[in-house]
Structure 1
Amino acid sequence: MNGAFLDYYRCPESFATFGLSGELSNSNGFFHFGSDTICYGRTCVGHSAKSVTDELYDVSDQVTANGSTLQLPFSPSEVVSNLRYERYVSASNGNGKQLTSAPAIRKAYYKMRPMLSLSVRKHFQRICLGDWEQIPFPHWPVDLSVELMFEKLLALLLKVHGVDQIPFIWFWPNGFSGCAIMTHDVEALPGSEFCSTLMDLDEAYGIKASFQLVPEGQYPVSADFLSSIRDRGFEINVHDLNHDGLLFSNREVFLQRAERINQYAREYHAAGFRSAVLYRNPEWLESLDFSYDMSIPNIGHLEGQRGGCCSVMPFFVGNILELPLTTTQDYSLFHILKQHSIDLWVRQITLILEKHGLASFILHPDYLREPLAQKTYKALLTYLAELSSNGKVWMALPREVNQWWRQRSQMKLVRRGNSWEIEGEGKDRARIAYANLEGDRVVYHVESPCVAAAN
């Protein structure tokens, strides 16, 4: 019941007092938890809808208190898991399907893809993605369902415990309000040849990034190439096996390829992974020997596989930490939406930072060789550099986020007399925060030291 909530906030367990108000239904469905929050799972009351477009029952009026325990008509951990693992997509009017869902068609497309001009690929993809504006869920341009649900639960806990504030371990090190990471997926030979120039560009704005390399793709991955990236302080990760779009086509293929992918992870000393085209199956990630994955988007309207994890925060999929993609890819922005401004990115960053989340980006060296694309990217780098210099955003490498989030997941808030104190590795960078209510809205206040007065 309270596991996902505690993992998210790292607050004392004594505050996370949830109980079920009855027996859960046998089947999953969509329902509201307040008018602005869509959930997917089982409920004890009302009815859950098979489709997100049906009239959704709001369970928020069915929440009761039994002393200091919130009696909920659903399991928060189950709902969050269903959203993060995208278990709702089969019920979302088919919007979880892949761009080329038939294996034979998908195989033929990716076999021909290197021979297709960019204009032909753009035309094909615009046709396949043409209905993206009609997709009702997840919410465009950033879905915050997980964050909204947790905030509503926190507000209810403040009331049921009769306290002015609840302490928790702040999301990011040193009190940063949010975090951002830049990643570069290298798809083909022209992209690999542009990596050095792209690193020059990133460094001009004081930003380091990770490069995801295809081990058996269209360009050589030599020891010298790896060193040219790593020696400059950039990070190297594995990007699929051969970028043919078939990694997740079936379990047998996945397991066969996973063995080779894991070999390349050791060879490259890579901690992270991202699949081609963001094709994914979270249930299978346990077979990959990586510390973190970056294959699940927050919202998949413009991706080859629809869906999305509905969250802007890192989360664990078994032992692998997921760093979700929370912004629109450069290819989609430039070639599907036909935009060369950073307006959409700024809008997404604003929404993400309002929830103190992770703004993660994919910019491909393959598509940044064009002058107009470079101009747009420079504008984004300027914006991110300003956020970083103002202390609003922790501009980090993915491996640094992975290290921090793992440390935070093991930290605890303990009471020492009249004070709260953080215990655990990395506590020197950790900060205690307090959740308060302003009206019915949860607001956060971050303390600067690691010790703060207890309630």
Structure 2
Amino acid sequence: MFTSSVPFAFGDYMRVPITVDESMGRNLPKHVGALHASSSPLGPRLLWARSDAGRHAPGTKPGHHKLDGINLVCPVFTGSPEDLGCRRWTGGEGWRPLTPVQNPQGTAVGHVWTNDQGSIFLPFDPGEAMSWLWSERYTMLGDARLRNRLRHLLVTIYYTIRPALPRKVQLLLRRRHAAHHTYPDFPGWPEENALHDLYDWLLGRLERVAGEPVPYVHPWPNGHTSAFVLTHDVETSTGRDSIEALRAPERARGLRSSWNLVPERYPVADELLDGLRSEGCEIGVHGLRHDGKDLASGRMLRKRLPAIREWADRWGAVGFRSPATQRSWELMPLLGFDYDSSYTDSAPHEPTPGGCCTYLPFFIDDLVELPLTLPQDHTLFEILGMTDGSVWQSKVEAVRARGGMVLMIAHPDYVHCPGMLTAWEELLDQLRADPGAWHALPREVAAWWRRRAESTPVLADGAWTVHGPAAGEAVVAWSSPPVGRHGRVMVPDTSVAAHD
């Protein structure tokens, strides 16, 4: 449908049909990417200020911005398309500002531009805007950089002394911090829709350039409109001995879950693992010792990785979640797992605050990241002192509305918290009642996401069908309803079959 001068990361992520033609960019300005509808090479183009391995055009400034009311946190080019030589390349005249990109004070620091030809120029790289949120790089902007370094130091100290602290003292420290800590406005909690708002906005720009609705591969297979994934982190031997308290309600409802265990903190009997597997559950690795050191440095990871891999192979585990959701964008792909599930969409209350701002999986190099999209039970019931699951229930509806993945943690270690078990059972009933949701294990979602990433819509005999490894299960979605079809962004067109 489109031809691009360079890979277009947003289109690749959504699986929009795009062909890269490097010859198209021979005379293109250095810091500009461009695409056009394949059927109209002389028609309107979408151009963007391209980041080349983090290198930008002069006049590009990182920061928190607003675009059409959307939080845009990434480097923004502050000049005009003509400053980059776009006028002579496109042949279009009359570049003029279309939409301002504003700083937190409301001052325009850049613009989306258009010209007489109908081309659009974006003053940012969409792929970089996505990765800045996925990787939480925005937490290193300005004063936040110093705050996060201090927070990292405090977390390191806490994990060093934690074994000597009684459980009541540990909780008291966390609760006092939660009560007196000032939380940033971004990301919002418990919901932050910035990235999904940006996805919709970008699909709208592609549609404007194409002059018709844009097809892409729906995030979920077989006509499902959303997904839900149940996971459990078993932190201690007490949690290990309390697994049945959470598993029994799942079993009664015909649901499966993933159990992340710590191999060198407490004994894990093969009979326990066999019992969970026999019920269709999955086993994952929850760090080596749950001491906050696995990802503390490259040196520490190299030291521990042989033991982590040995336990993963012994348990048949293909997934990892780090203790206290400790994260490292650079180190996590080195773990050697099919997927990780340590990032959270919005996490101001966690030991390492931040948030990847998405309800969908994404890649960190070749590692599939499955973000947590519901607040943790420990956070709600132990730290914030809530006694019901209303936050869970409202967040489930918010994620469903965006066609996302509900992925949550429930710890058997905290089943004693007032209201926790009741809230858990009510949540299971809410999830199970949605006929459009795909109930899957983490490994199944990760495998699907890999198949989806290698598939694309293809126009054949007047109809769009999905070709590639996801054929037969993937369906085509649209940026807006084409004539004669129903739905909206993120709603699959189940009338379109997929083919090999």
TM-score (norm 2): 0.81
* Identical-pair percentage: 29
* Higher mean C-alpha displacement, 93-102 vs 82-91: 93-102
* Higher mean C-alpha displacement, 15-24 vs 282-291: 15-24
Q: Offset of 1:69 from its aligned partner?
A: 4.8
Structure 1 residues 13-52: aligned runs within 5 Å: 13=18, 18-20=46-48, 23=57, 25=59, 27-45=61-79
Partner in structure 2 of residue 106 of structure 1? 158
CA distance in 2, matches of 1:215, 1:416: 51
**Contact 2:225/2:492 (<8 A) preserved:** no
Residues matched between the structures, number: 437
SS across alignment from 1:263: helix
- Structure number with greater Rg is 2
Partner in structure 1 of residue 42 of structure 2? none
Partner in structure 1 of residue 197 of structure 2? 148
Structure 1 residues 172-183: aligned runs within 5 Å: 172-183=220-231
Of 41, 55, 72 in structure 1, the residue corresponding to residue 105 of structure 2 is 55
CA distance in 2, matches of 1:305, 1:103: 8
When residues 60 and 154 of structure 1 are mapped into structure 2, their CA distance, relative to the original with a 3 A threshold, is farther
CA distance in 2, matches of 1:279, 1:407: 28
Structure 1 residues 311-330: aligned runs within 5 Å: 311-330=358-377
Partner in structure 2 of residue 5 of structure 1? 10
When residues 159 and 366 of structure 1 are mapped into structure 2, their CA distance, relative to the original with a 3 A threshold, is same
**Contact 1:31/1:57 (<8 A) preserved:** no
**Contact 2:287/2:308 (<8 A) preserved:** yes
CA distance in 2, matches of 1:137, 1:20: 25
When residues 446 and 108 of structure 1 are mapped into structure 2, their CA distance, relative to the original with a 3 A threshold, is closer
**Contact 2:347/2:354 (<8 A) preserved:** yes
**Contact 1:229/1:235 (<8 A) preserved:** yes
Query: Structure 2 stretches of 5 or more lacking a match?
Result: 1-5, 20-35, 38-44, 51-56, 81-101
Query: Structure 1 stretches of 5 or more lacking a match?
Result: 47-51
Partner in structure 1 of residue 172 of structure 2? 123
CA distance in 1, matches of 2:108, 2:180: 28
SS across alignment from 1:174: coil
- What letter matches 1:214 in structure 2? V
Q: Offset of 1:191 from its aligned partner?
A: 0.7
- What letter matches 2:214 in structure 1? I
Structure 1 residues 128-139: aligned runs within 5 Å: 128-131=177-180, 134-139=183-188
Residues 1:293 and 2:324 are matched in the alignment? no
TM-score (norm 1): 0.88
Q: Offset of 1:243 from its aligned partner?
A: 0.5
SS across alignment from 1:366: helix
Partner in structure 1 of residue 452 of structure 2? 408
When residues 282 and 152 of structure 1 are mapped into structure 2, their CA distance, relative to the original with a 3 A threshold, is same
Structure 1 residues 64-213: aligned runs within 5 Å: 64=114, 67=117, 69-91=119-141, 93-94=143-144, 96=148, 101-102=153-154, 105-113=157-165, 116-117=166-167, 119-131=168-180, 134-163=183-212, 165-213=213-261
Residues 1:432 and 2:484 are matched in the alignment? no
SS across alignment from 1:62: strand
Q: 1:58-100, CA deviations, whole angstroms, 9 ceiling, x for partnerless residues? A: 5784232585753211100111111111111022643545756
CA distance in 1, matches of 2:419, 2:442: 27
When residues 79 and 333 of structure 1 are mapped into structure 2, their CA distance, relative to the original with a 3 A threshold, is same
- What letter matches 2:464 in structure 1? W
Residues 1:394 and 2:446 are matched in the alignment? no
Aligned-residue RMSD, C-alpha: 2.6
Q: Relative contact order (C-alpha < 8 Å, sep 6+): which is higher?
A: 1
CA distance in 2, matches of 1:69, 1:100: 45
Q: Offset of 1:370 from its aligned partner?
A: 5.0
